[in-house]
Amino acid sequence: MEFHSLKTVGLDDEWQRLFLPFADQGYALGRVAIQERNQYKVYSSLGFIDAQVTGKYLYTADSQAELPQVGDWVVMMLFEDENKGIISECLPRRTKISRKAAGQRTDEQVIAANIDTIFIITSADANFNLRRLERYLLMVTAGKAEPVIVLNKTDLTDSPETLIDQIRSVFSGTVLPAFALQENGVKGLRSLIQPGKTYAFVGSSGVGKSSLINALFGKELFLTQDIRQGDGKGRHTTTRRHMVVLPSGGVLIDTPGMRELQPWEGQSGTAETFSDLDRLAKQCRFKDCSHRTEIGCAILEALETKSIEQDRYDSYMRLLKEQAFLENRKEERENKRQWEKSIGKTMKQFRKIDPKYKFLDR
Ligand SMILES: Nc1nc2c(ncn2[C@@H]2O[C@H](COP(=O)(O)OP(=O)(O)OP(=O)(O)O)[C@@H](O)[C@H]2O)c(=O)[nH]1
Ligand SMILES: [Mg+2]
Ligand SMILES: [Zn+2]
């Protein structure tokens, strides 16, 4: 990998300012390109090096989200003769993209950090789904990065314009058509990419994220899916997040397609995509309106007069439900933590009286 300085991977004055106090103590700065458990590949002043997180950092982190992720700026001790680093801190994230971790847990999973623009990739085939796009938009805007929607595989439809119009009905930002398998099919995308800025590619498996990055590089950098069999569901080609630098400048992060997509960040998440509905909801007669049966519900009224569509209403309701669920789970965990803390205190007091005292029933 060609690599000249940390500026190539996005270092700017603000990061430098944040790092200054650490520099004075002999630490080095780096940016995480790949992460697999506690094995990191980091851009540093020594070039592309292996790194690990200190034991202390690892054991004091409350969740995966607090550990360094792809795109993070990290503070390291460098071991020059071994070409290795030990990470002890992560600089505060400017932006991130995260979701609820797959499965039952309500943990936040950070997909990438410090991204300027997120390309949400969708494809002009059976995969096209506006509701899913809305969910991606929500996830992106909650993490404060700027979303751009890319409609890939425009060769597979007669009228990409129709699909683009549909996207514009739910999104007022930039929408770009693309054809990853043709050299000039990524012209629009390329023209958006600026040196020193960071771009993440997200979207379902098979929409062509890796193909688009390969097209931008003009060579096969990443593995892409072979000709699909059957309905094309199932296999993920990209299995980990990966940061690379375009020769012309611009930092790109490829991500594996997401199967489970639930927004993480609480209420704030509805802000952008459903801002009109949120505004309407403020006009409901009851403050805690569920927008299902209440008299004086502004949302139901809008539904009745067809100023909002049924499936937009449905996805709004689904989202509110998920958020309520996540909020509850967070509260539960907080309660549990408080409870454990108070048990701990009680036990300390008991031990003062009798050092052998144990709580048997926990
Ligand atoms: N027809 C057509 N096929 C494309 C285009 N872009 C990508 N493909 C094909 O779509 C398939 C999936 O592409 P990938 O780039 O692997 O998709 P991905 O989004 O990276 O998928 P995951 O890594 O599994 O998340 C491959 O067979 C590509 O050749 C396109 O613009 N048009
Ligand atoms: Mg891929
Ligand atoms: Zn209501």
Query: Which of 176, 190, 123 is closest to 148 using CA atoms?
Result: 176
Same structural domain, 188 and 292 = no
Burial 42-75, CB ≥16 within 10 A → b, else e:
bbbebeebebbbeeebeeeeeeebebbbbbbbbb
**Residue 358 forms part of a structural domain:** no
Please tell me the predicted confidence (pLDDT) of residue 102.
58
At residue 331, the pLDDT reads 64
Nearest ligand, CA 180: 1
Q: For residue 9, is pLDDT > 60?
A: yes
With a cut of 90, say whether residue 160 has pLDDT above it.
yes
Classify residue 229: in a domain, yes or no. Answer: no
The rounded Å distance from CA 232 to ligand 3 centre is 40
The backbone torsions φ and ψ at residue 85, rounded to the nearest 5 degrees and listed phi first, read -135, 150
Residue 356: HSE in the Cβ half-sphere, 13 Å Cα cutoff: 0
Ligand 1: residues whose CB is within 6 Å?
Answer: 152-153, 155-156, 179-181, 205-211, 224-225, 236-238, 256-257
| Residue 333 falls inside a structural domain | no
344 occurs within a structural domain: no
**pLDDT tier at 219, thresholds 50, 70, 90:** confident
Tell me, yes or no, whether 120 and 250 share the same domain. yes
Question: Residue with the nearest Cα to atom 22 of ligand 1?
Answer: 205
Residue 58 lies in a domain: yes
State how many domains the chain has.
3
A 10 A CB-CB count for 168 gives 12
Residue 183: predicted pLDDT: 81
* CATH number for the domain that contains residue 248: 3.40.50.300
- Report residue 21 CA to chain centroid gap: 29
Separation between Cα atoms, residue 233 and residue 286, nearest integer Å: 44
Looking at the domain assignment, is residue 261 inside a domain? no
For residue 36, give its domain range.
6-90
Q: What is the mean pLDDT of the chain?
A: 83
Residue 284 belongs to a domain: yes
Residue 326, pLDDT score? 65
Name the closest-CA residue to atom 1, ligand 1.
153
In a domain, 312, yes or no: yes
Q: With beta carbons less than 8 A apart as the criterion, state whether 272 and 66 touch.
A: no
Distance CA 66, CA 136 (A): 22
Residues 35, 241 contacting (CB under 8 angstroms):
yes
Global pTM reads 0.73
pLDDT in tens, 284-322: 888 888 898 888 899 999 999 988 888 888 888 877 877
- 362 pLDDT more than 50: no
Predicted local distance difference test score (pLDDT) of residue 359: 44
Most confident of 36-40, 123-127, 189-193: 189-193
Q: Model confidence over 73-131: pLDDT tens digits?
A: 999 999 988 889 999 999 999 999 988 765 555 678 899 999 999 999 999 998 899 98
**Together in a domain, 67 and 102:** no
- 161 & 196 share domain: yes
Asked whether 68 and 87 are in contact (CB, 8 A), the reply is: yes
Residue ID of nearest Cα to ligand 1 atom 13? 208
